[in-house]
Amino acid sequence: MHPVLFHIGPITLYSFGLMMATAFLVASYFFTLELRRRGLDERMAGQITIICLIGGVAGSKLFSILESWGDFVRDPMGQLFSPAGLTFYGGFLVCTAWVYFYVRRKKLPFLLFADMIAPVVLLAYGIGRIGCQLAGDGDYGIPSTLPWAMSYPQGTAKPTYTLIDYFKTHMAERAQMHYDSLAAITVGRDQMGGRISRFDEIVTVHPAPVYETIFCVLAFYFIWSNRKKFDGEMGKVFSITLIVMGVERLLIEFIRINPLYWGLSMAQWISIAMIAVGGWMIAFYFPNRKTVAP
């Protein structure tokens, strides 16, 4: 893990911040290509990117606080200004709402822009997950002994703490992995001065961010490569992407550690809603709608 890439005097470059910036720049580039292809004002790419940047950070932090309300109550300032704890769906929903109002004010069809933006958001999400992997910010999964399972001793969110809730309901694994004794042994400090336990050194978990990056990049490639086929059906690319994003997050959450509500995480319930909306659009909206000229 490399949460901190390097220091230049008082300036610290964090891997997560670098990958977030890269994700927005790449998304803006592909969005600009789509605006150019459709003969629209390319300057809107920069404006909408800024909207998504601000809305994404604000929305993801808001949903993260709601999802971990107990931690926020215990340390409101620490949680509010922590670089960790950013929930993608929170940013996605807030960005969608802001972009909707932006394009409606310009008297442009929202679904046209949704078709252009949705695939690049999927790509940006995959790039952002590289930052999560490098930072080790707790987005990894449950313990695993698979050959590609990884340890995160240098991560900003240590397994010693992120797996506490998991072991509350998996007592046999807790004992088998000697969690209590190993978590009490300090073996060193990370780049940011955080404590590393012996448990952090030896436990291996699912590298969920790696899974998500691979899935999202491949999904983006197939959607982007075939997007022109749906130019006559405004909103089709958006609905397909909703389903793909929903399925991806619904499945990955089964090997991640998040609070559950009626058996599923908040992200999974939102995923189900996205799949339902995308599926409804494909099953009922488009068959009953006349073809729209590109």
Arithmetic mean of pLDDT, 193-222: 96
Other Cβ atoms within 10 Å of 198 Cβ, number: 18
Are the C-beta atoms of 200 and 153 separated by less than 8 Å? Answer: yes
User: Rg of the chain's alpha carbons, rounded to an integer?
Assistant: 21
Q: In which band, very low, low, confident or very high, does the pLDDT at 48 lie, cut at 50, 70 and 90?
A: confident
Arithmetic mean of pLDDT, 24-35: 93
Please say if the pLDDT value at position 115 is more than 90: yes
Name which residue leads in pLDDT, 99 or 198: 198
Mapped onto helix, strand or coil, the DSSP state of residue 143 is: strand
Other Cβ atoms within 10 Å of 99 Cβ, number: 18
Percent of the chain at pLDDT exceeding 70: 87
Rounded distance between C-alpha atoms, residue 269 and residue 279, angstroms = 15
* The pair of three-digit structure tokens given for residue 11, joined into one six-digit string: 């300036």
In this prediction, residue 293 carries a pLDDT of 43
Rounded distance between C-alpha atoms, residue 73 and residue 17, angstroms = 26
| Beta pairing, strands 11-14 & 4-8 | antiparallel
Arithmetic mean of pLDDT, 224-242: 93
Q: Which residues contact 82 (CB under 8 A, 6 or more apart)?
A: none
